[in-house]
Structure formats: C-alpha cells, structure tokens
Amino acid sequence: MAGTTYEMIGKIKAVFDPMTFASGFTKREFVLTMEDDYPQDIKFVCVKEKCGLLDHVAVGERVKVDFRIRGNEYKERYYVDLQAFKIDKLDTDGASVSYDEAEPPPPDDPTPF
C-alpha cells in the first residue's frame, strides 16, 4: 500500500545548499511560508535525485509542494521530515507549471541518518 501524500501552497522563503554525506546520500532543504490565516514557515527536504527540483524555483515564488511525511529513529532519537517529491510553480492566475511528474518515493525508502 502506498503512503499518504499531502500538498501545501505558499511562497519559497529560503533554499539551502545541497548536503552530501559520506554514504553518498544527498539532501537539500528549503523553507515555504504557507498560505493560511496564520502563515508559518515550514521546512521541507528533497532527497537524492529530487534535489534538482529546487534548481527551478527562486525565493519569493509561489509554489505548490507535494510531499510525504517521513519518520525514522537514529540512536534512540526520533526524527520527522516533510519529504518533497514534486514542486509546481503557480502562475498569478493559480495555474501550475510542473517540473516533475514522477511518482513519490516508496514509503519504505530508508533515510540513512
């Protein structure tokens, strides 16, 4: 059974440099200011080949992010990530411009940290 996916709309607040670990695993984080009555800054992560999604967006752009909630345990500490697998730029009229139509990663894809 595939995991549940979610989406959030907002403006890109920050895009950070990619991080590559000794194992070869790569991730890249970004912050989205969500559209809401009480906007919040939400941190997302792109992993492996999905890091390239962030090459197409800039700070201040309005986007829709499709993501999956990922959790893991490492050394008796528990972590939760919002793992983005699709980012669509939104035009001023709300139409989207997609950069990745790929399926989300399988829910049992381990995060090695």
CATH number for 22: 2.40.50.140
Domain-embedded: residue 75: yes
Q: Which two tokens stand for residue 62?
A: 């309005």
pLDDT over 50 at 108, yes or no: yes
Number of structural domains found in the chain = 1
Q: Structure pTM?
A: 0.77
Greater confidence, 34 or 96? 34
How far apart (Å, rounded) are the C-alpha atoms in residues 113 and 106? 18
pLDDT over 90 at 86, yes or no: yes
> Which range, 57-61, 87-91, 92-96, has the best average confidence (pLDDT)?
57-61
The pLDDT of residue 62 is 95
Domain-embedded: residue 97: no
Domain-embedded: residue 111: no
| Run of H or E residues at 81 | strand 77-90
The pLDDT of residue 97 is 61
Domain-embedded: residue 99: no
pLDDT over 70 at 66, yes or no: yes
What's the sign of the alpha-carbon dihedral 55, 13, 19, 67? Answer: negative
User: How confident is residue 3, by pLDDT bands cut at 50, 70 and 90?
Assistant: confident
pLDDT over 60 at 100, yes or no: no
Q: Which domain holds residue 51?
A: 6-91
Instruction: Give the pLDDT mean for 45-50.
Output: 94
